[in-house]
Amino acid sequence: MKTLGKKIRLLRHQKGWSQEDVAKRLDISIPAFSKIETGITDINLSRLEQIATLFEMSVVQLLTLNDAEQDQKFVTELETIHKKLMDRETEVIDLQKKVIELFEELRHSKATA
C-alpha cells in the first residue's frame, strides 16, 4: 500500500493540490488522507474508486500506474515548462533591447535639443 500512497501523493502534486484540498474533495479529514498517502491506512474499494474518479482515471489505471509512466509525465511537463521559460527569457531580452533603444533615442534627442 505504500506504493499506492506514493502514487496518490504524486498525482496530487501534479494537480497542484494540497492534502487539505484532496481531503475536502474526498470528504475525509486531513490526517485520514495523510495516512492514505503514507500507507498507514489501507484503502477500501469504495475509497479507491473515489480517489481514482478524483484524479480522472479508472481504479485499474490507478493501481497499475507505474513510476516509469509518472517519470515520463514529469519529464514531459518539465520540458514544457522549460520551453515556456526559454520563450519568456527571449521576450525579456527583446524588451530589454527596446528599452535600451528608447533610452538611446531619448538621450540623442536631448543632446540635439
Flag residues of the chain having pLDDT under 50. 1
The per-residue pLDDT for 63 is 87
Is residue 87 located within the same domain as residue 48?
no
Is residue 54 located within the same domain as residue 87?
no
Is residue 108 located within the same domain as residue 53?
no
Is residue 16 located within the same domain as residue 59?
yes
The per-residue pLDDT for 65 is 73
**92: domain range?**
67-113
Query: At which of 48, 65, 82 does a domain end?
Result: 65
Q: Give the Cα-Cα-Cα angle 55, 67, 47 (nearest 5 degrees).
A: 35
Alpha carbons 82 and 3: distance in angstroms, whole number:
29
Q: How many CB atoms lie within 10 A of CB 59?
A: 14
Is residue 71 located within the same domain as residue 58?
no
The tens digit of pLDDT for each residue in 49-66 reads: 999 999 999 998 888 876
Q: Give the Cα-Cα-Cα angle 61, 75, 80 (nearest 5 degrees).
A: 110
